[in-house]
């Protein structure tokens, strides 16, 4: 929501930084999910 407000105020650089932050956070979350899923499958295979 903060990003949208900044973008509406026409701070181009702030909008770009915000988008970059979202992409970084998204990829980080995907990494956590993927690694967690891999651990779960390994535990299932050990059984």
Residue 3 CB neighbour total at 10 angstroms: 14
d(CA 20, CA 6): 14
Check residue 9 and report its DSSP letter: T
Q: Residue 30's pLDDT is what?
A: 92
pLDDT tens string 6-46: 555 556 677 788 888 999 999 999 999 988 877 777 777 77
Q: And the tokens for 18?
A: 């915000």
The reported pTM is 0.48
CB 23 within 8 A of CB 16: no
d(CA 35, CA 1): 29
């Amino acid at each position: 929501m903060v990003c949208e407000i900044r973008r509406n105020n026409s701070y181009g650089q702030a909008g770009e930084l915000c988008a970059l932050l979202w992409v970084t956070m998204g990829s980080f979350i995907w990494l956590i999910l993927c690694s967690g899923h891999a651990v779960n499958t390994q535990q299932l295979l050990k059984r």
